[in-house]
Amino acid sequence: MTLKELTAKEVQEQLESGKDLNIIDVREDDEVAEGIIPGAQHIALGNLPVVMHDLNAETPYILVCRSGGRSGRAQELMADEGFDVTNMVGGMLAWEGETK
């Protein structure tokens, strides 16, 4: 199975073009308190195995964390359950570099 990826720049461009994206930030509460992509939903990675069953499996999701590692794990977890998920490579470090 090939896992899909987008760069922070690609996600930013899609948001700026008005595309309705379903972004899930899997970082911890204290990390999210420092900033989150506008419109993103926060579900900490540790809570994802329980909470993801409340999400619509027909909806494509973009996953983000600090650098791309935890969102990659979240992507594998959700993909195994049949979700259409894309990892934003580079995470919030890349996002902050693109949006400054």
**Which positions are catalytic?**
65
Whether 26 contacts 74, CB under 8 Å = yes
Nearby residues of 9 by Cβ (< 8 Å), 6 or more positions away: 94, 98
- Residue 75 CA to residue 23 CA, distance in Å, equals 12
